[in-house]
Amino acid sequence: MPRPTTVHVCSACGHSSARWHGRCPGCQAWNTLVEERLPAPSTRANRRVAAAGAAAPGRPVLLSDVSTAAIPRLLTGIGELDRVLGGGLVPGSLVLLGGSPGIGKSTLTNMALGNLAAVGRRTLYVSGEESAAQVRMRAERLTSTEGRGGALSVPVLAETDLDTILATLDAERPDACVIDSVQTLHAAELSSAPGSVAQVREVAGRIMQVAKAADIAVVLVGHVTKEGALAGPRVLEHLVDCVLQFEGERERTYRTLRALKNRFGSTNEAGVFEMRDTGLVEVLDASARFVAEATGKPGSVVLAAMEGTRPLLVEVQALVSPSELVPPRRVVNGLDRNRLALVLAVLGRHGGVGVGSADVFVNVVGGVRVEEPGADLAIALAVASATRGVALRGPSGDGPIACFGELGLTGELRSTAHPDRRLREATKFGLRDVISPESTPTLRQALQVAPKTTNKPERAAA
């Protein structure tokens, strides 16, 4: 009988078993057994090493003696991507690019490889999801604009077998390689299905070994589960050097690229893209667009948000409408749902704005996600304006109001990072009235821009 090559190990207690069990025979926990590859059988040679007391010792080097020849980065030619990566791809590094289906992961990686190929870099696109013909169709779409001639000169390998892919990487030695996607690859030693925890871990681990040995910058494309986590084990996030998240709503054109982890750069950076038929286009004037589109009607306010180190003006809209439902709906788009609950509580307790049993919808226009406490004041002002049925009016009475600030539980406004940059961005785009914790210390004072009216939609909602 052939010797088994895998074993099932409980991730809770470490119990190992030849067969998979739904419940661990060791600790009785459910669904904790994960398939793992057994180490290679010991040969006579490595038994000798083990007998001699393990391997020869390594030689530590003083940090001051370590040579620091600057490693040239690979510039993908997509400014926003390079910036989020911390200045381009690092040779020999592993980048995980996650995003929900259809968001544009393949488009982004195709474009990046195309640009690298155009400047004479060796590239490889491994497609486990699409046939070579499908990849070509996309490349043709991306090439239809001038100056993107490289997309069609990228070699493609439509393959899902891990060993074949590793052998190809070793033979071709590209400078940059994209694996689309890590969940479709299959290591023959493991019997579990592609995309399972064991497979994804094995695939990523072995690709990393080859990437580091041959100095190949590898981008692993990964899918995101419904809950928004990168599918596959969290261990993948520990393994790779950089985790990028591509997000946005498929139906909308704006997409944001963020770094969740980066060993070679800041994780504060974010890039904004727009999906067009010719591919992804960097949006460098996002603030101008969002401000121009801001309605200035009841329930609308401009939030001076920070996307990493870059300020971004976005419109936040709220709708408060009477509801028959118990409990009423609290729906957010592009914001944290828990923050809405907190803001509504503070508004009721310290701002005198009660939404009662009305439905509350809050939306960041354009499909942008803002995940920072600085959005609190924008939610509060938008909801207050929607509840009272009045458009926000600042002291100058001219144009939409911009705001930022965190809401304290006692009704005070708290400072957030980079107030000066946010203020400058608002001024740059012609917003004269900016409400911030620096100018307005309490929520009650901030709410003066949404005065109560006599025709009281507030009561109708409550």
Ligand X SMILES: Nc1ncnc2c1ncn2[C@@H]1O[C@H](COP(=O)(O)OP(=O)(O)OP(=O)(O)O)[C@@H](O)[C@H]1O
Q: Does residue 246 contact residue 108 with C-beta atoms inside 8 Å? A: yes
Check residue 73 and report its DSSP letter. Answer: P
Tokens of 412: 């005070």
Q: Does residue 100 contact residue 247 with C-beta atoms inside 8 Å? A: yes
CB-count burial class (<10 Å; 0-12, 13-18, 19+) for 313? buried
CA distance 77 to 95: 17
Binding mask 69-108 toward Mg ion (x if CB under 5 A, else -) reads -------------------------------------x--
* DSSP bridge pairs for 37: 6
250 binds, among Mg ion, ligand X, none (CB under 5 to 8 A by kind): ligand X
- Is 228 among the residues that bind ligand X (CB under 6 A)? no
Q: Residue 277 Cβ, how far from Mg ion at the closest point, in Å?
A: 16
Q: Which is nearer to ligand X, 366 or 419 (CB)?
A: 366
Q: Which is nearer to ligand X, 277 or 324 (CB)?
A: 277
Q: Residue 437 Cβ, how far from ligand X at the closest point, in Å?
A: 38
CA distance 301 to 381: 7
With CB under 6 A as the contact rule, the residue among 8, 73, 83, 105 that binds ligand X is 105
103 binds, among ligand X, Mg ion, none (CB under 5 to 8 A by kind): ligand X
Q: Residue 104 Cβ, how far from ligand X at the closest point, in Å?
A: 4
Q: Does residue 195 contact residue 203 with C-beta atoms inside 8 Å? A: no
Size of the site for Mg ion (CB under 5 A): 1
Q: Residue 129 Cβ, how far from Mg ion at the closest point, in Å?
A: 6
CA distance 304 to 286: 12
Check residue 449 and report its DSSP letter. Answer: G
Q: Residue 38 Cβ, how far from Mg ion at the closest point, in Å?
A: 33
- Which position's Cβ is nearest Mg ion? 106
Closest CA to 161 of 206, 101, 102, 214: 206
Q: Residue 103 Cβ, how far from ligand X at the closest point, in Å?
A: 4
Q: Residue 184 Cβ, how far from Mg ion at the closest point, in Å?
A: 10
282 binds, among Mg ion, ligand X, none (CB under 5 to 8 A by kind): none
222 binds, among Mg ion, ligand X, none (CB under 5 to 8 A by kind): none
Q: Does residue 362 contact residue 454 with C-beta atoms inside 8 Å? A: no
- Is 107 among the residues that bind ligand X (CB under 6 A)? yes
Q: What backbone phi and psi angles, to 5 degrees, belong to 123?
A: -130, 165
Q: Residue 138 Cβ, how far from Mg ion at the closest point, in Å?
A: 9
- Is 184 among the residues that bind ligand X (CB under 6 A)? no
With CB under 6 A as the contact rule, the residue among 101, 120, 147, 397 that binds ligand X is 101
From the centroid of its chain, how far is CA 309? 16
Binding mask 235-274 toward ligand X (x if CB under 6 A, else -) reads ---------------x------------------------
Q: Which is nearer to ligand X, 122 or 141 (CB)?
A: 141
Q: Residue 224 Cβ, how far from ligand X at the closest point, in Å?
A: 9
Q: Which is nearer to Mg ion, 106 or 262 (CB)?
A: 106
Stretch touching ligand X by CB under 6 A, among 102-110, 152-160, 331-339, 421-429: 102-110
CA distance 177 to 189: 24
107 binds, among Mg ion, ligand X, none (CB under 5 to 8 A by kind): ligand X
Stretch touching ligand X by CB under 6 A, among 104-112, 204-212, 296-304, 351-359: 104-112
Q: Does residue 331 contact residue 342 with C-beta atoms inside 8 Å? A: no
Q: Does residue 450 contact residue 381 with C-beta atoms inside 8 Å? A: yes
Binding mask 56-95 toward ligand X (x if CB under 6 A, else -) reads ----------------------------------------
CB-count burial class (<10 Å; 0-12, 13-18, 19+) for 112? buried
CB-count burial class (<10 Å; 0-12, 13-18, 19+) for 433? buried
**Integer CA distances (angstroms), 141 to 117, 255, 315, in order:** 17, 19, 32
Q: Does residue 138 contact residue 114 with C-beta atoms inside 8 Å? A: no
- Is 245 among the residues that bind Mg ion (CB under 5 A)? no
List the interface residues with Mg ion, window 103-132 (CB under 5 A). 106
Helix ranges, 215-360 (H): 235-239, 286-293, 337-346
- Is 99 among the residues that bind ligand X (CB under 6 A)? yes
All residues at 6 or more sequence positions from 66 whose CB lies less than 8 Å from its CB, including other chains: none
Task: Please give the residue ranges that form the binding site for Mg ion (CB under 5 A).
Answer: 106
Task: Please give the residue ranges that form the binding site for ligand X (CB under 6 A).
Answer: 99, 101-107, 129, 141, 250, 275, 277
